[in-house]
Chain A
Amino acid sequence: DTAVSQTPKYLVTQMGNDKSIKCEQNLGHDTMYWYKQDSKKFLKIMFSYNNKELIINETVPNRFSPKSPDKAHLNLHINSLELGDSAVYFCASSSRTGEGTGELFFGEGSRLTVL
């Protein structure tokens, strides 16, 4: 059983389109994240939800809108895609708080290519 699963794994789309990525975790964790990894491998947090509540919202363009219908699911919708949005988007989850907050379980990633 996959612990953190994302769909789709690959997206290829044109500039200006809208796309969504879905994430589900079956670990019973309270906190879920979206990270973006660019071509230079830099992994940057975008959003974090704790039990459906948004707790981290980085300076991400408002074209990006996360949604957490329940604590096991976190989706990411992107409007009006731009070339610079091309990256791998990782969903992650964690059960830890305090100093253990950095112990994350990552999904397999969704590679977005904007043409």
Chain B
Amino acid sequence: QKEVEQNSGPLSVPEGAIASLNCTYSDRGSQSFFWYRQYSGKSPELIMSIYSNGDKEDGRFTAQLNKASQYVSLLIRDSQPSDSATYLCAAYGGATNKLIFGTGTLLAVQP
């Protein structure tokens, strides 16, 4: 079982729709969670971090964390073609005390 799992996609959504990206993690001791965006050929860029259960909103982005279900999600409202990228989920803490990345979900926003 992978430590951080994401559907590789591609997830295709029309412009203006809500994109929902999901992530599960196996180490129940994980403390904090992060979403990175990576455009093709570029480096990962941190867009959201979340440390406690519930929702955290930042502009068009909402991160959701449910530690009981070991589930993290990222919602992107009013999706734009410029949001097309790979979104990497990462979890920190637990047994490894390291930042573990998922393999990413490719999001394609269709104009």
- Do A and B come together as binding partners? yes
Asked if A102 meets B103 with Cβ closer than 8 Å, knowing A43-B88, A45-B98, A90-B44, the reply is: no
B104 touches A102 (CB 8 A): no
For B103, the chain A residues whose CB sits under 8 A away are 40-42
B99 touches A45 (CB 8 A): yes
Q: Of residues 34 to 64 in A, which have CB atoms within 8 Å of B's CB atoms?
A: 40-45, 56
For A108, the chain B residues whose CB sits under 8 A away are 42-43
Interface pick from B15-23, B45-53, B57-65, B75-83: B45-53
B92 within 8 A of A: yes
For A106, the chain B residues whose CB sits under 8 A away are 43-45
A103 touches B86 (CB 8 A): no
B45 touches A102 (CB 8 A): no
A15 within 8 A of B: no
Range, interface on chain A:
10 to 19
Range, interface on chain B:
20 to 34
- Interface residues of B, dominant DSSP: strand
A103 touches B34 (CB 8 A): yes
A99 touches B93 (CB 8 A): yes
Measured in the bound complex, the distance between the Cα atoms of B104 and A34 in whole Å is 19
Can you list the 3 inter-chain pairs with the closest CB atoms, starting with the nearest?
A: A106-B43, A102-B92, A99-B32
Q: What are 30 contact pairs spanning A and B, CB under 8 A? A: A40-B103, A41-B86, A42-B103, A43-B44, A43-B88, A43-B101, A44-B101, A56-B98, A90-B44, A99-B31, A99-B32, A99-B92, A99-B93, A100-B32, A100-B49, A101-B93, A102-B33, A102-B90, A102-B92, A102-B99, A103-B34, A103-B46, A103-B49, A104-B44, A104-B46, A106-B43, A107-B43, A108-B43, A109-B42, A109-B43
